[in-house]
Amino acid sequence: MGFIFQIIRDIDPKLKYLIDTFTLLGFIWTTKTLFSLVGSTLSGLRIFLWSRLWRLNLKKKYGEWVVITGATDGIGLEYAREFASRGHSLILIGRNETKLDNVKRQLSSLVSSNKIVTVQADFNESTPELFKRISTELEPYQSEIGILVNNAGVMFESPNRFMDQPEDMVWQHVKVNITGVLMMTRVVLPGMINRRRGLVINMSSIAGFKPLPLMGVYSASKKFVEWFSNTLDYEYCKSHNIDVQTLVPSYVSTKMTKWSNFLQKPNITTPDARSFARSAIATIGRTKFTTGYWSHGIQWFAFEWLCPSWMYSFMSWNYLRNIDSSGRRAKDT
């Protein structure tokens, strides 16, 4: 390569300045990337390792009662289990009354059953009346609710083009992933404002990092959650001492990913719900924006620094098609 550069210099000495400029730019980019890598590594160790060794008292910091949506399965259930093990009282919100009762029985070994309240609500039926009812049921606990976990969410039954997805599922993404987050925050936030402390955890996704072909509506709904979280934190953190944490995990092995046999098998990049929840809950008070799991953090760094948008779209398109086991795989044309 140096031989080629020397030939160019011999042909036109003026090109020397151009070559030197590009060399300097390359050095600056490489240095910046290395510093970012070191910084991200140290930050990752602090968030994902140190936080597990030095656990914060979340009950003392934010309050006793925790509201969790989508609490009967997957990540929501494991969040409930983790908070219960830390001595928190729980308000569990889910669609299925029977499942809510079963979860309450499961968790009664960790916390007294009279410290577990269940609220049946289907966000797919989102109406002003639904959230008024939820607000009424939560009213006796408003002065003590310290943490809200906006976990409830939906995902398409398989990756596919927009017009090949069921229309009812498109509506569910709006009602559950967006409206549910907004309105539950409006229900719970006033009590936190009055107490001048609290924590809102919003479940976004790494799918919102960049536009995600074949999961476009899901990706967009999660980007909405991320931006809403960022603005909410700016509006209420300094003025009212309310933290807002945005979670942007990659794939977790839950029922939401049942369309892929590959994602149903927990591995180093796809943890099960319990492993993810244990890791994510430890990051509370350490960071306001996190993937929640160490290997997901590595994925985020790689996407941010090594993967331009065109490459991300190309890779995502092929990856989603290849891991789709639903029998409804998107066609090339």
Whether residue 43 is contained in a domain is answered as no
Q: How far apart are CA 95 and CA 232, in angstroms?
A: 27
Looking at residue 17, what is its pLDDT?
66
Q: Residue 263 falls within a domain, yes or no?
A: yes
What residues make up the domain containing 258?
57-324
Q: Of 62, 218, 236, 293, which residue is the catalytic one?
A: 218
User: What is the pLDDT of the chain when averaged over all its residues?
Assistant: 90
Q: What pLDDT is stored for residue 113 in this prediction?
A: 77
Handedness of CA 134, 174, 290, 197 (dihedral sign): negative
The predicted pLDDT at position 37 comes to 67
Q: How far is CA 97 from CA 102, 135, 272, in A?
A: 9, 18, 24
Position 106 scores a pLDDT of: 93
Instruction: Note whether 232 and 204 are within 8 A (CB).
Output: no
pLDDT, position 49:
67
- Distance in angstroms (rounded) separating the CA atoms of residues 55 and 6: 59
Indicate whether 14 belongs to any domain: no
Q: Judge whether 115 lies within some domain.
A: yes
What SS3 class is residue 146?
Answer: strand
Cβ count within 10 A of residue 105? 11
Q: Tokens 């979280």 — which residue?
A: 229
Classify residue 42: in a domain, yes or no.
no
On whether residue 26 sits in a domain, the answer given is no
User: What pLDDT is attached to residue 28?
Assistant: 77
How many structural domains are present in the chain?
1
pLDDT tens readout for residues 106-160: 999 898 877 999 999 999 999 999 999 999 999 999 999 999 999 999 999 999 9
Q: Is residue 111 part of a domain?
A: yes
* pLDDT in the model for residue 12: 60
* Domain CATH code at residue 81: 3.40.50.720
**Residue 238 within a domain:** yes
Is 218 one of the annotated active-site residues of the chain? yes
Please list, residue by residue across 191-206, b when 16 or more beta carbons sit within 10 angstroms of its beta carbon and e when fewer do.
bbeebeebbbbbbbbb
Q: What is the mean pLDDT of each run of 10 residues along the chain (333 residues)?
A: 57 63 74 70 65 82 97 97 96 97 93 91 95 97 97 96 96 98 98 97 96 97 98 96 97 95 95 96 94 93 86 94 84 63
| CA 169, chain centre distance (Å) | 20
